[in-house]
Structure 1
């Protein structure tokens, strides 16, 4: 199963394309405002309004053999611990080997932003190269999971 943390996810179309090619089921999870797909492999899951409700729903279900697409680092840490594979929207894999450093960097950046409320931006936009890296990474992860499954 592929779980997509769909609120503000720029690669939903790419997930659908790759998942369809692999005949993988997808749960597109959000608080609403997402147009459901007619694709029978895609399930649109609407969770209640509230902070992190989509994250909680995914974290309760994802485990070994699953792929989670998210930019949410705390969610990524939970599902990595549960055995799921995690990809950020730019194709970066979050694993047991790197999630600790990624969490620490996230916390440091939050502290820096809190210390300087006038600090603006700093992040780069989502590019065509990011989209291409994501497509390649998802393809590789799904192929890897197929090889591992008897």
Structure 2
């Protein structure tokens, strides 16, 4: 098992590394040239800029049982198809049961925006989001490694 991070705009990179260190799990950070993110305790893979370039490189490296941190529903769906375990930055674990609804909601929001409508952005990140992520990631690590 590895933890792969879709790091462009990811606020929990340091939390992932600290949890991975506890469980002795390798961490790979994927980012594009505009967001080079280097951290001790992780391997950084910098990808040339391009539409979804980071996502495609990351999904090609995912193996069954890997955990992927992403807020991108499309990437989460691809990870699920490879028997990976995606989780978002707030601790929500993407599953076969919830991904279709999330993708449909994304599609509807895109339709609204393309017709000139406005959708509210995400709420400002608060301390509780980090705590929820820590709980969610720890639970997922324990489940995937059969320690739960």
Structure 2 length normalisation: TM-score? 0.92
Q: Which residue of structure 2 aligns with residue 72 of structure 1?
A: 72
Residue pair 2:112, 2:119 contacting (<8 A) in 1 also: no
Q: Which residue of structure 1 aligns with residue 125 of structure 2?
A: 126
1:51, CA displacement in angstroms? Answer: 1.2
Residue pair 2:62, 2:79 contacting (<8 A) in 1 also: yes
For structure 2, which runs of at least 5 residues remain unmatched after alignment?
none
Q: Which residue of structure 1 aligns with residue 105 of structure 2?
A: 105
Aligned-partner Cα distance in 1 for 2:63–2:119: 37
Q: How large is the Cα RMSD of the aligned pairs? A: 1.4
Aligned-partner Cα distance in 2 for 1:106–1:121: 13
Q: Which residue of structure 2 aligns with residue 13 of structure 1?
A: 14
Q: Which residue of structure 2 aligns with residue 38 of structure 1?
A: 40
Task: Give the direction of change, closer, same or farther, for the CA distance of 1:44–1:122 in structure 2 (3 Å limit).
Answer: closer
1:128, CA displacement in angstroms? Answer: 1.2
Q: Which residue of structure 1 aligns with residue 61 of structure 2?
A: 61
CA deviations over 1:104-124 (Å, ceiling 9, x no partner) = 01111111122235x264431
Aligned-partner Cα distance in 2 for 1:38–1:91: 23
Q: How many residues align?
A: 145
1:38, CA displacement in angstroms? Answer: 2.5
SS of residue in 1 equivalent to 2:145: helix
